[in-house]
Amino acid sequence: MLTVVKCGGAALTRGPFVLERYVGRGEGVCVVHGAGARITAALEAAGIESRFVGGRRETSLAALPLVREAYRLENEQLCAQIGARAYGLMGDELGLEADIVPGLGHVGLPRPVAPASLSGLIEAGRVPVIAPLARGPLNVNADDAAAALSIALSADRLVFVSDVEGVLVDGEVVDELTAREIEQLDGLLRGGIVPKLQAAVAAARGGVRAEVGRTLVVA
């Protein structure tokens, strides 16, 4: 059993991240994290405006070092909370690959590629904790990165952990959403939930059970 856990930066603001809440004993685990709030604060301090298109952050050449440092700090914090099994990795150094997203600068859409070293770490009982950068370097949305890795690793589950219980429709968390239902919600959803659901649908279509909080997303 292999589970990919995507931990949003907002989830860490609620308290320490407890991996065991989301995976069973003995399961293989790979964690992908964001750092949204930390990146926004770093860019603001440097006088760089944060702009999003479809929930994805525009990243200029000047912003890249700040984004990398924010990811590094978030990675260290998350690894410390997971414990001795955690193995922190920057995605571009790991060898993640992505295609440039036009109009967003140094931003990439990840390819479903898993370097052999990643599988080796999981088989050895370690927990890879990955910051979503790809070769270039390119800044990659963490939801997209988690979905691509879950497909590449042939994972059984992809679990999105954030500061909400699940997907809210008409003010209530829904237990299940199909890809068709998500398409019908187009225009009603805003912000980070958009790439999250797109990533969940991509994973589901790739044969991975995708859960956004307690909302199951099916192809």
| CATH code, 136 | 3.40.1160.10
* pLDDT computed for residue 152 by the predictor: 97
Coil, strand, or helix at residue 20?
helix
Q: Which of 185, 155, 85 is nearest to 125 (CA)?
A: 85
Mean of per-residue pLDDT scores for the chain: 93
The CA-atom distances, in angstroms, between 101 and each of 56, 58, 137 are 10, 10, 13
User: Structurally, how many domains does the chain consist of?
Assistant: 1
* pLDDT computed for residue 194 by the predictor: 82
Give the global pTM.
0.93
**What's the rounded mean pLDDT across residues 88-104?**
96
Structural domain of 96: 2-218
Classify strands 172-173 and 138-140 as parallel, antiparallel or unpaired. Answer: unpaired
**What's the rounded mean pLDDT across residues 61-68?**
97
Residue 148 has pLDDT above 70, yes or no: yes
Peptide bond into 110 cis (omega under 30): no
* pLDDT computed for residue 82 by the predictor: 95
**What's the rounded mean pLDDT across residues 109-128?**
95
Peptide bond into 128 cis (omega under 30): no
* pLDDT computed for residue 204 by the predictor: 97
In this prediction, residue 91 has a pLDDT band, given cuts at 50, 70 and 90, of: very high
Percent of the chain with pLDDT over 70: 98
* pLDDT computed for residue 100 by the predictor: 97
